[in-house]
Amino acid sequence: MSELLRIENLSAGYGEAVVLHDVAFVLGEGQTLALLGRNGTGKTTLINTLAGATRQHGGTIALGGQALHKLAPHQRAAAGIGWVPQERNIFKSLTVHENLTAVERPGRPGGTSNPWNPQRVYEMFPRLAERKTNLGTQLSGGEQQMLAVGRALVLNPKLLLLDEPLEGLAPIIVEELLRAIRRITQDEGLAAIIVEQHPQAILAISDEAVVLDHGTIVHTDKAATLRAQPEVLDRLLGVAR
Ligand SMILES: Nc1ncnc2c1ncn2[C@@H]1O[C@H](COP(=O)(O)OP(=O)(O)OP(=O)(O)O)[C@@H](O)[C@H]1O
C-alpha cells in the first residue's frame, strides 16, 4: 500500500504554548485512522495543525510526498486536505447549494473516476437535497454537519479530516452520518482521520488507531485490535466504553 500522509517530530500549539510534542505516524492511501484520547489531550490541535490552523513549532507533514507544513490553509486545501472542523464553519448566510458550489473543485488528475460534486452529495444526504435553497441559519445541527462533510467532499480531497462529526447529534442522525462516513472511506476508499468521543463506533469503521495523551502518542494499533480490547481502551481513555 502506498503512503499518503507522513508526520514526523511534529510539535505545535497556540502562540508560544506547545500542545503537541513529537507526534509521528504514517497513513497509507485509502486508510482510515481513528484519533482517540481523553478531553484536552490535543486531538483537535492535531487536526487543526494538519489543516494549517495552529502554530507549528517543529517537525514535518507530507501529503503524497508534498510538504504541507510550509503551506497556508487554502494551499493545503488545494493540496488535498478536506477539513471538517469541530465548529463546522458552514457559510450561514449562503444557501446549502451555494455552500457547496462556492468551494467545489473538479476532480484531480489521476484521482477518482467518480469525483464528488453537489449532486453526489445530495444523493448521499437526501436531507440536504430537500434543503437546497435553505440558508445555513435554517439548518439543524445534523444538517449542518452533513453540509460540512459535503463541502469538504466537493473539494475532492486526498485526505478527509473529521473532528467529532457525531458530537451532539440525535441517534438517528448519528446512524445516517456513520453510514455516510463508512461509504466515503470504506466503499470509496477516501483516506480519513476521524476524532470521536465514541470510540467503538469509529473503531468499527477504521483501519488504524492512534491514542493521544498530554499531546503525545501513547498508543498505536490496528483499529480492530484495539476495539477487541475494552480493558486497554478503558485504561487509555479513562472511562468504560
Ligand atoms: N485556541 C487555543 N489557545 C490556547 N490553547 C488551546 C486552544 N485550543 C486548545 N487549547 C489547549 O490545547 C490543549 C489540547 O486541546 P484540544 O482541543 O486539542 O484537545 P482535544 O483532545 O481535542 O479535546 P476535546 O476532546 O475536549 O475537544 C488543551 O490544554 C487546550 O486547553
How many domains does the structure of the chain reveal?
1
**Nearest atom in ligand 1 to 37's CA:** 21
- 46 alpha carbon – ligand 1 mean position (Å): 10
- Residue of the CA atom closest to atom 3 of ligand 1: 14
Does the ipTM exceed 0.90?
yes
219 touches 188 (CB < 8 A): no
57 touches 11 (CB < 8 A): yes
Indicate whether residue 70 lines ligand 1 (CB < 6 A): no
Separation CA 32–CA 209 (nearest Å): 9
pTM, two decimals, is 0.94
Residue 235 in grid coordinates: 485504561
- Residue of the CA atom closest to atom 17 of ligand 1: 44
Residue 7 in grid coordinates: 508526520
Q: What is the pLDDT of residue 109?
A: 59
Q: In what order do the strands lie in the sheet with 66-67?
A: 17-28, 3-14, 55-63, 66-67
Show Cβ contacts of residue 129 under 8 Å, excluding neighbours closer than 6 positions: 122, 123
Which range marks the domain in which residue 18 is found? 3-237
- 196 alpha carbon – ligand 1 mean position (Å): 14
- 44 alpha carbon – ligand 1 mean position (Å): 7
Q: What is the pLDDT of residue 241?
A: 47
pLDDT per residue rounded down to tens, the chain (241 residues): 799 999 999 999 999 999 999 999 999 999 999 999 999 999 999 999 999 999 999 999 999 999 998 899 999 999 999 999 988 889 999 999 999 999 988 776 556 668 999 999 999 999 999 999 999 999 999 999 999 999 999 999 999 999 999 999 999 999 999 999 999 999 999 999 999 877 889 999 999 999 999 999 999 999 999 999 999 999 999 864 4
202 touches 33 (CB < 8 A): no
CATH code, 127: 3.40.50.300
Indicate whether residue 37 lines ligand 1 (CB < 6 A): yes
Indicate whether residue 230 lines ligand 1 (CB < 6 A): no
Separation CA 42–CA 227 (nearest Å): 21
User: Closest Cα to residue 153, out of 195, 123, 127?
Assistant: 123
- 191 alpha carbon – ligand 1 mean position (Å): 24
Indicate the top mutation candidate among 11, 23, 44 to test ligand 1's pocket, ranked by most ligand atoms within 8 A of CB. Answer: 44
Q: Please spell the DSSP secondary structure of 111-150, one letter per residue.
A: S-SS---HHHHHHH-HHHHHTTTSBGGG--HHHHHHHHHH
Name the phi and psi angles at 23, rounded to 5.
-85, 135
- 179 alpha carbon – ligand 1 mean position (Å): 28
Show Cβ contacts of residue 112 under 8 Å, excluding neighbours closer than 6 positions: 156, 188, 189
Q: Per this entry, what is the length of the chain?
A: 241
